[in-house]
Amino acid sequence: MSFLQLVQSRRSVRRFLDKPVDRALILQCVEAARLAPSAENVQPWRFLILDDPQIRQKFCDENFTGLYRVTRWAAQAPVLVALLAEKDLLANRIGKQITGIHYYLIDMGIAGEHFVLQAAELGLGTCWIGWFSPDKARRTLQLPTKYEIVSLLALGYSADEAVRPLKRKAQADICRFNSL
Ligand SMILES: Cc1cc2nc3c(=O)[nH]c(=O)nc-3n(C[C@H](O)[C@H](O)[C@H](O)COP(=O)(O)O)c2cc1C
């Protein structure tokens, strides 16, 4: 499969088979993420993987409630990955002060998508999860203050039977050469 075919066939997965994911496969996804580029090569990422059913269940029970109940589907995923960023790295602080850009968030997005695409190549489904409370998740996971939780990923074997059409803006609507 070409890279473009892989990207065309990937979909977010929110329904999973009740089948564990081998840690070797999870670590292959981490490896793809580890090799991602980052601003000043600071590699701010840490991957906290919840694959223990009890720990995952506790996390889901405490975090996907109230306003965040719509994310309850993620409790079905055999693996949740917390994408953590090391905060206040000097290079990021200086960069942000000068340009106003939060480079670490770009870094985290790139690494997370490397993870997602490697998972897709391995036949694993994923979904980014932004709809949760970082403060609450931090308390559940008892994170040291130097880490910020940027996103979650659900990971597992897809239980989706039909492939949804890929809805994207047309290239002509999002790309211009030389002037907008
Ligand atoms: C940063 C980010 C956060 C997201 N958060 C959620 C979420 O909280 N819940 C959810 O169901 N999907 C979430 N998604 C998945 C998007 O809804 C999905 O990628 C988009 O609708 C396109 O669909 P596709 O991934 O199947 O192509 C998120 C995606 C990204 C990139």
User: Could you read off the pLDDT of 14-60 as tens digits, one per residue?
Assistant: 999 999 999 999 999 999 999 999 999 999 999 999 999 999 999 99
Nearest CA to ligand 1 atom 14: 128
Structure tokens at 140: 């559940």
For residue 106, what are the contacts with CB-CB under 8 A and spacing of at least 6? 39
Mutational test site, ligand 1, from 71, 83, 129, max ligand atoms within 8 Å of CB = 129
User: Could you read off the pLDDT of 87-145 as tens digits, one per residue?
Assistant: 877 888 888 889 999 999 999 999 999 999 999 999 999 999 999 999 999 999 999 99
Nearest CA to ligand 1 atom 3: 130
Structure tokens at 68: 């965040």
Set out the domains of the chain in order of their start, with CATH numbers: 20-158 (3.40.109.10)
pTM of the shown model = 0.97
Helix (H, G, I), strand (E, B) or coil at 68: helix
What's the rounded Cα separation, in Å, for the pair 84 and 114?
15
User: How many angstroms does the Cα of residue 128 sit away from the middle of ligand 1?
Assistant: 5
Please give the C-alpha separations between residue 89 and each of 25, 46, 180, in angstroms, as whole numbers: 30, 14, 34
Structure tokens at 59: 């996390």
Pocket of ligand 1 (CB under 6 A): 11-12, 14, 71, 127-131, 151, 166
Nearest CA to ligand 1 atom 10: 129
- Look-up of token digits 């693996």: 79
For residue 136, what are the contacts with CB-CB under 8 A and spacing of at least 6? 62, 63
